[in-house]
């Protein structure tokens, strides 16, 4: 589903990402864990072509759905207008927009409200709905998808992504919330200084695994 | 074409719901009637005075649209990562630029149309009350001339897209747009003055030829002259109108092509 080979990105000779190579199979979720500035977003943006990679190749089996880290959504638009745009652009039925908003758990009274009147958590749910809309994409790249959500919201969203994973999607997720990553992902890539340092396989999906991961990450910083 | 049409629609919806746009449209409706007050201070040629003031107001309105509505849209898209969402729909970068430009250009039309209709009505009312000082049919002439003024602003909009695709954000876009806008106002009159027969007689032929060439190559983005002539009921020959239209459409296309070429190559961090 996702095949990355020797991916690298440099800015004026300064490498932000180097020698990234990994694969993600269908029905697998992989986490990307690293401190701020470790190269997580650079890796995801290079995979999507938003950044032009300096070296290496990216192969994605299908169109990728991307959830950027805290984008400022157009304030005058409503959540429904945003989602309907995606449906129109892809030639999907308009009802898929409503289904996605419902699935993401956004209260119906907020669907037609301008986004400037929506809270941070509501906006994040709009972004989640944006990702879920259509459900045709088999590759999902998520940059801090739980940002701005409360504990209950995080659990709900996590179960949605689990459903997508089980229906065959390949998911890559960046997050600072290690327990969430452990719950969703079967492998975690530890990244530091733009280099993937270690790959950790998650077996128990428990909090103790999260603590081990945090310790491993601290060792690389 | 689904994606382009959808993004044009989204852009229109986004701009038309902005408070700045609604305010500008309200001003566009009111200003022709308010300008009758300063016009009444003049003693002769009231129709010409009012149409000149309306022409200046149209320049201000279109410039405000450019600086306060169009420029922030692209700057925000790039600075605040909205384009990341839109591009990963997926949408090709060239199609994204074309659709955003199309939506922005279309958003000018309702505001401009309301202004022109309101101006036309104000001029006709003035012509009705002061028939001695105002020529009949001035409203319709202003409608045509004012409409022609849209063309240089479409060129400027293309230039804005060129600037914003290469810039890192709002501040940079505004600085370069302001510079281009100021140059578009100041350079053509200087070039016109340098081509006067008295000046030409005192400078070498090659410099004179160079100045003429520069004048022909540079876009006359502030070229209200021809549009103003139409508003004053002096309809220029068809070939001149055609050249004026072609010039601005060509500049718009050139700037858009350059914008696409730059945007295709840039990193979206």
Confidence of residue B244 (pLDDT cuts 50, 70, 90): confident
What's residue B51's pLDDT?
86
Instruction: Provide the H-helix boundaries in A51-202.
Output: 79-90, 95-103, 120-132, 151-166, 178-184
Percent of chain B's residues with pLDDT above 90: 44
Please check whether residues A102 and A202 belong to one and the same domain.
no
**Do the chains contact at A68 and B90, CB–CB below 8 Å?**
no
**Cβ distance of A66 and B91 shorter than 8 Å:** no
Structural domain including A126 reads 69-136
B263 → chain A, closest CA residue: A50
Q: Look at residue A132 in the predicted model and tell me its pLDDT.
A: 86
Residues A176 and A103 in one domain: no
- Which domain CATH number covers A208? 3.40.50.300
List chain B residues with CB under 8 Å of A136.
none
Question: What residues in A contact B10, CB-CB < 8 Å?
Answer: 74, 77, 81-82, 85
Per the listing, tokens 């309301």 go with B114
Q: Give the domain-ending residue among A136, A166, A192.
A: A136
B3, B10, B20, B23: best to mutate for the A interface, most A CBs within 10 A: B10
Same domain, A196 and A144: yes
pLDDT category of residue B19 using cuts at 50, 70 and 90? very high
Instruction: Tell me which chain A residues have a C-beta less than 8 angstroms from the C-beta of B268.
Output: 45, 50-51
B191 pLDDT more than 70: yes
For residue B224, the model assigns a pLDDT of: 62
The stretch B245-267 carries a mean pLDDT of 92
Residue the block writes with tokens 């045509």: B144
Cis check for the bond before B90: say yes or no (omega within 30 of 0): yes
Q: Is B1's pLDDT higher than 80?
A: no
Q: How distant is the alpha carbon of residue B115 from its chain centre?
A: 14
Kindly list the residues from chain A whose CB atom is less than 8 angstroms away from the CB atom of residue B18.
76
Based on the fold, state whether residues A11 and A115 are members of the same structural domain.
no
CB pairs under 8 A between A and B: 74
What is the mean predicted confidence (pLDDT) over B23-52?
A: 89
Supply the pLDDT for residue B222: 62
CB A158, CB A1: distance < 8 Å: no
Same domain membership, residue A161 and residue A103: no
Sheet holding A29-33, edge to edge: A64-67, A139-143, A170-174, A29-33, A187-192, A195-201
Question: What band does B115 get if pLDDT is binned at 50, 70 and 90?
Answer: very high
Average pLDDT, chain B: 88
Q: Does the complex come out with an ipTM higher than 0.90? A: no
User: Hey, are the CB atoms on B267 and A50 less than 8 Å from each other?
Assistant: yes
Contact residues, chain B, for A48 at CB < 8 Å: 84, 88
Residue B102 pLDDT greater than 90, yes or no: yes
Q: Are residues A100 and A194 in the same domain?
A: no
The yes-or-no verdict on residue B113 having pLDDT over 90 is yes
Q: How far apart are CA A17 and CA B71, in angstroms?
A: 33
In this prediction, residue B211 carries a pLDDT of 84
Q: pTM for the complete prediction?
A: 0.89
- pLDDT for residue A111: 92
Whether the pLDDT of residue B24 is over 80: the answer is: yes
Chain A interface mutation, best of B4, B16, B19, B267, highest count of A Cβ atoms under 10 Å? B267
**Residue B166 pLDDT > 80:** yes
Q: Taking residues B144-155, what's their average pLDDT? A: 88
DSSP A133: S
- Domain end, chosen from A136, A171, A194, is at A136
Query: Which of these, B166, B146, B126, lies nearest to B46 by C-alpha position?
Result: B126
Residue B18 belongs to domain spanning: 2-265
Beta bridge pairs of residue A17: A9
Interface of A with B (CB under 8 A): 45, 48, 50-52, 63-66, 68-69, 71-74, 76-77, 81-82, 85-86, 88-91, 114, 127, 130
Question: Domain tally for chain B?
Answer: 1
Among candidate residues B66, B72, B50, B266, the one with its CA nearest the CA of residue B171: B72
- Using 50, 70 and 90 to split pLDDT, how confident is the model at B94? very high
Predicted local distance difference test score (pLDDT) of residue B258? 96
Domain total for chain A? 2
Are A81 and A50 in the same domain? no
Q: pLDDT digits over A89-146, tens only?
A: 888 888 899 999 998 888 889 999 998 898 888 888 898 898 888 777 788 898 888 8
CA B263 to chain centre: 23
Taking the Cβ of residue B122 and every Cβ of chain A, the question of whether any pair is shorter than 8 Å is answered with no
Q: What is the pLDDT of residue A65?
A: 86
Q: For residue B135, how many C-alpha atoms fall within 13 Å in the half-sphere facing its CB?
A: 13
Mean pLDDT of B136-152: 83
> From the CA of A135, how many Å to the nearest CA of chain B?
12
Are A58 and A142 part of one and the same domain?
yes
Clarify whether residues A143 and A34 are in a common domain. Answer: yes
Concatenated DSSP letters of B127-164: HHH-TTTS-TTHHHHHHHHHHHTHHHHHHHHHHHHHHH
Q: How confident is the model at residue B223 (pLDDT cuts 50, 70, 90)?
A: low
Do A9 and A116 sit in the same domain of this protein?
A: no
pLDDT of B196 above 90: no
Place of tokens 């459900």: A135
Residues in chain A with pLDDT < 70? 205-207, 209, 220-221
Chain A residues with beta carbon closer than 8 angstroms to that of B100:
none
Considering only residues B189 and B220, tell me which one the structure prediction assigns the higher pLDDT.
B189
For testing contact with chain A, the best of B20, B89, B170 (most A CBs within 10 A): B89
Rounded mean pLDDT of B17-23? 94
Q: Are residues A75 and A30 in the same domain?
A: no
Q: Is residue A1 domain-shared with residue A59, that is, in the same domain?
A: yes
Does the beta carbon of B89 lie under 8 angstroms from any beta carbon of chain A?
yes
Which pLDDT value is given to residue B4? 93
CA distance B201 to A129: 71
More reliable by pLDDT, A103 or B162: B162
* Domain edge (last residue) among A120, A136, A152: A136
């Amino acid at each position: 589903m996702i095949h990355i080979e020797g991916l690298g990105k440099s800015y004026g000779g300064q490498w932000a990402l180097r020698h990234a190579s990994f694969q993600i199979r269908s029905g697998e979720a992989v986490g990307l864990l690293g401190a701020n500035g470790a190269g997580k977003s650079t890796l995801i943006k290079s995979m999507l072509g938003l950044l032009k990679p300096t070296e290496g190749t990216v192969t994605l089996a299908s169109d990728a759905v991307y959830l950027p880290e805290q984008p400022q959504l157009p304030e005058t638009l409503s959540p429904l207008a945003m989602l309907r745009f995606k449906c129109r652009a892809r030639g999907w039925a308009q009802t898929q927009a409503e289904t996605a908003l419902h699935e993401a758990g956004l209260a119906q009274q907020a669907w037609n409200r301008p986004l400037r009147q929506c809270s941070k958590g509501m906006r994040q749910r709009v972004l989640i709905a944006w990702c879920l809309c259509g459900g045709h994409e088999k590759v999902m790249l998520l940059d801090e998808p739980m940002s701005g959500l409360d504990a209950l919201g995080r659990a709900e969203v996590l179960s949605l992504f689990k459903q997508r994973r089980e229906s065959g999607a390949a998911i890559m997720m960046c997050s600072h919330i290690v327990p969430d990553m452990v719950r969703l992902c079967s492998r975690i890539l530890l990244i530091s200084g733009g280099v993937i340092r270690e790959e950790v396989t998650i077996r128990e999906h428990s909090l103790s695994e999260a603590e081990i991961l945090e310790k491993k990450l601290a060792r690389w910083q | 074409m689904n994606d382009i049409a959808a993004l044009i629609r989204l852009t229109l919806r986004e701009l038309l719901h902005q408070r700045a746009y609604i305010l500008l449209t309200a001003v566009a409706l009111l200003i022709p009637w308010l300008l009758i007050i300063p016009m009444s201070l003049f003693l002769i040629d009231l129709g010409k005075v009012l149409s000149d003031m309306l022409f200046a107001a149209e320049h201000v309105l279109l410039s405000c649209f450019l600086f306060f509505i169009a420029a922030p849209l692209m700057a925000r898209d790039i600075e605040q990562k909205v384009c990341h969402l839109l591009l990963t729909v997926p949408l090709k970068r060239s199609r994204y630029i074309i659709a955003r430009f199309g939506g922005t250009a279309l958003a000018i039309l309702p505001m401009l149309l309301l202004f022109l209709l309101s101006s036309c009505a104000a001029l006709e009312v003035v012509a009705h009350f002061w028939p001695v000082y105002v020529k009949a049919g001035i409203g319709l002439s202003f409608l045509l001339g004012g409409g022609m003024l849209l063309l240089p602003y479409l060129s400027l909009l293309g230039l804005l897209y060129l600037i914003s695709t290469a810039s890192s954000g709002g501040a940079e876009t505004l600085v370069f747009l302001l510079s281009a806008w100021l140059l578009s106002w100041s350079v053509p009159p200087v070039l016109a003055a340098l081509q006067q027969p008295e000046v030409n007689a005192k400078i070498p032929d090659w410099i004179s030829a160079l100045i003429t060439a520069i004048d022909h190559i540079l876009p006359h983005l502030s070229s209200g002259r021809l549009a103003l002539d139409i508003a004053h009921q002096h309809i220029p020959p068809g070939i001149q109108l055609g050249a004026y239209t072609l010039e601005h459409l060509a500049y718009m296309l050139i700037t858009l092509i350059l914008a696409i070429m730059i945007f295709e190559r840039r990193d979206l961090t």
